[in-house]
Amino acid sequence: MSEPSRIKQLDDRTIGHIAAGEVVERPAQVVKELIENSIDAKSSRITVEIDRGGFDLIRITDDGTGIHEHDLPLSLDRHATSKLSNEEDLAAIGTLGFRGEALASIGMVSKLSISSRPRGTEGRSIVMDNGNKGKIEPAGIAEGTSIEVSNIFSNQPARLAFQRRPATETSKIVDVVVSHAICHPEVGFRLVSDEKTILEVPAVDEMEDRLYDVLGRQAGKMIPISAPKSDSDAPGDERWSGWISTPDITRGKGDEIHVLINGRPVAAQPFLQSIRRGYKTRLMQGRHPVAVLLLDLPNDEVDVNVHPTKREVRLKHSWRVLERLERSIAYTLESTPTEPESSGGITGITSLAPQPAERRVVEKPAWAQTAQISLTGEKPIEIKKEKPRPISQSESSQTTITGIEAIAPALSIGERELHRHAGCGETEDIDNTEPLGPVINDLPAMEPLAQFADSYILVQADEELLLIDQHALHERIRYERLRHDESLWQAQERISPVPLDLDVRQIARLEARIEDLNNMGFVIEKKAAGYSITSAPALLSASELEPFMHDILLDMSEDGAPLETIEQRKDHLAFLNSCRGAVKANEKLNLSQMRRLLDDMRRIPNPWACVHGRPTAMRIPLNALDHHFGRHG
Ligand code: ADP
Ligand code: MG
């Protein structure tokens, strides 16, 4: 047996390297730490300059309070901070930084140079080169602080090997600057990448103005959240405010949900579920809204000291805070006219401006009621019928016939209504579409007997009577056609280029992945007026191009990410389009159209369920009828 290894105290340098590993994982994290320092120093203007995604250079210049000459060497020591003085202060932290680790860690893994000039003093600078501290030197700079980081990780080959491409890092840095810019409208931000200014927002008084500056046009489609009256009496001092998108504006990821706790940007992940629940069934599965949500609560009810990068925080009353968020979102959407996803024009959308109180008590338009149905498996809300449908109701006839096979519960009236509202487009001309491929399922040849209530087709299929929901079936057929016809996904040149309204983060991602986009059939041009799509897959209509591009750009936020999810995006699109062009309920079909649908039904892989997983048909075996009518001995 070998001797146990003996324990020794690590030297400071090694400890520093270990700590640096957590705080400085990538250039974007350096930018985050430095911006936080500038904000803590009460700056009103912060300029961030990066070269090659920050790998060559990161320079942050602010006009804040500066660092006293004697504090310059100290600022480079671990656990040296001006923001805390004792243990009690930890209980209620009001600054972004407090650990005193950032500068020390950055100085371990790069060449860090700090120049600073507090008001009324001479400028001074100090350098720390991969852990070696230099002397204080005079520096000619304006009031404030300028921090330069170069050669990051050049002495850490292992770390360098795991870094992203510069363009990807640039886009991550844009994310960081944007999220701080959203949190601090009172600070002007400028981001310069490889000598090009890619973001410049002036200091403003109102967060609304800042949102317009960073989010662009989509900010105009966001609505302010408000809590139900009864919430003001609910226990707890926490308060939510902010803006959420109407359900017609969604993203495939939660990346455009910004959560700020007492002015600190935090990871949105822990809030996503409550946000979704607040939207009830208005969001389709896997979709997320765009949102800026501000939580204000007493500093001693949030613990920010749980994670080295402070992205995660702990809340004392987390469930209460989450429920309050859910209630606010639900209340806001209930009192605001909005449209379900995939419907056409957006009407009645109120912009960021606060709404007068009486607007909140709106009568819901028909589609708003019908949007509240389950696409997500949640319990549908009870919906009143708009007008009686021409169906004689006789529930018992269904339940007493034994042997009837319906694959899942029948379509709710609500779901049918959603379909009707989703379908603003023209119904496809059934007779003149290309036939699908060969017969691929074991359905027999079928003969339409009649149409019932202009909604169901009565069909003879060998020894069975089928009752087919014409919309559900047609939707399924269209989905299969759209999804699998490769020609629809081929690039098609657009007669008039489709302009793209992109914010800075999206532009950074676009530039980072332009080649991948080309491979997917998108040709994007940059002109003085901005970006536009000149070529795109044929299936995408002009109006779908921009939302589709927004989704793709979200997927492209990290190297290697996009193409896995492109298939999902295609599904989503085929899904929306299949619903749109399908024949509706209450639409008369002639025999040849019915025959055509039945013929196509044999050529799709899953004929029994529509794209929502609802049944397309109810099967009544002759046997079951015989039994019901007492024909069996
Ligand atoms: P922390 O922010 O947790 O205190 P840092 O290592 O980030 O730790 O910074 C150390 C100290 O350096 C800060 O406490 C602050 O006093 C000073 N400092 C850093 N950056 C700036 C800046 N841009 N302006 C003024 N002071 C700064
Ligand atoms: Mg700091």
User: Ligand 1 test: best mutation among 38, 47, 82, most atoms within 8 Å of CB?
Assistant: 82
* 366-391 mean pLDDT: 33
The ligand placed nearest to the CA atom of residue 85 is: 1
Lowest mean pLDDT among 25-39, 106-120, 334-348, 361-375: 361-375
User: pLDDT for 205-242, tens place per residue?
Assistant: 999 899 989 888 778 888 999 999 888 888 899 999 99
| pTM of the model as a whole | 0.69
Which residue, among 474, 481, 493, 508, has the nearest Cα to 580 in the 3D structure?
474
User: What is the percentage of the chain residues whose pLDDT exceeds 90?
Assistant: 39
pLDDT for res 1: 65
The confidence score (pLDDT) of residue 162 equals 85
pLDDT digit string (tens) for 46-66?
Answer: 999 999 999 999 999 999 999
Where are the alpha helices (H) located in 184-317, listed in sequence order?
207-215, 269-278
pLDDT number for residue 569: 67
What tens digit of pLDDT does each residue of 157-213 get? 888 888 888 998 999 999 999 999 999 999 999 999 999 999 999 999 999 899 989
Rounded to the nearest angstrom, the distance between the alpha carbon of 82 and the centre of ligand 1 is: 7
What is the reported pLDDT for 217?
A: 77
- Cβ–ligand 1 distance for 62 under 6 Å, the answer yes
Per-residue confidence (pLDDT) for residue 373, from 0 to 100: 23
Q: Is 115 in the pocket of ligand 1 (CB under 6 A)?
A: no
Whether 439 has a pLDDT exceeding 80, the answer reads yes
Contact predicate 601/607, CB 8 Å: yes
In contact, 352 and 217? CB cutoff 8 Å? no
pLDDT band at 535, cuts 50/70/90? very high
Residue 256 confidence class, pLDDT cut points 50, 70, 90: confident
Per residue in 62-85, pLDDT (tens digit) is 999 999 999 999 999 988 888 888
What three-state secondary structure class fits 271? Answer: helix
Lowest mean pLDDT among 435-439, 525-529, 611-615: 611-615
209, 243 contact by CB (below 8 A): no
> Does residue 68's CB lie within 6 angstroms of at least one atom of ligand 1?
no
Instruction: Please report which confidence band the pLDDT of residue 567 belongs to, taking 50, 70 and 90 as the band edges.
Output: low
User: With bands split at pLDDT 50, 70 and 90, how would you rate the model's confidence at 586?
Assistant: confident
The strand pair at 57-62 and 45-51 is best described as: antiparallel
Tokens of 439: 């017969």
Task: Read off the pLDDT of residues 123-158 as tens digits, 9 standing for 90 and up.
Answer: 999 999 999 999 999 999 999 999 999 999 998 888
Task: Name the least confident of 119-133, 451-465, 485-499.
Answer: 485-499
Q: Please tell me which residue, 435 or 126, carries the higher pLDDT value.
A: 126
What's the maximum distance between 2 C-alpha atoms anywhere in the chain? 109
How confident is the model over 520-532, as a mean pLDDT?
Answer: 88
Backbone φ and ψ of 112, nearest 5°: -110, 130
pLDDT score at 355: 37
**Banded model confidence at residue 346, pLDDT cuts 50, 70, 90:** very low
| Residue 583 phi, psi (nearest 5) | -60, 150
Distance from C-alpha of 598 to C-alpha of 591, rounded to nearest angstrom: 10
Please state, in angstroms and rounded to a whole number, the distance separating the CA atoms of residues 190 and 199: 5
Q: Give the pLDDT confidence of 297-321 residue by residue, as tens digits.
A: 998 899 887 777 777 888 999 999 9
Q: Which of 81, 125, 133, 145 to mutate to test the pocket of ligand 1 (most atoms within 8 A of CB)?
A: 81
pLDDT of residue 613: 63
Distance 48 CA to ligand 2 centre (A): 16
Q: Ligand 2 being an ion, which residues bring their Cβ within 5 A of it?
A: 37, 97, 102
**Regarding predicted confidence, which is higher, 488 or 34?**
34
For ligand 1, the distance from its centroid to the CA atom of residue 241, given in whole angstroms, is 30
pLDDT of residue 565: 58
pLDDT score at 112: 98
Mean local confidence (pLDDT), 586-615:
84
401-405 contacts at long range (C-beta below 8 A, 24 or more positions apart): 401/620, 401/624, 401/625, 401/628, 402/624, 402/627, 402/628, 403/620, 403/621, 403/623, 403/624, 403/627, 404/618, 404/619, 404/620, 404/621, 404/624, 405/618, 405/619, 405/621
Nearest atom (ligand 1) to Cα of 104: 6
For position 434, what pLDDT does the model report?
A: 73
Q: Using a 6 Å cutoff on CB, does residue 118 contact ligand 1?
A: no
Is residue 43 within 6 Å of ligand 1 at its C-beta? no
The backbone region for 163, taken as left when phi is positive above 0, alpha when psi lies in -120 to 50, beta otherwise, is: beta
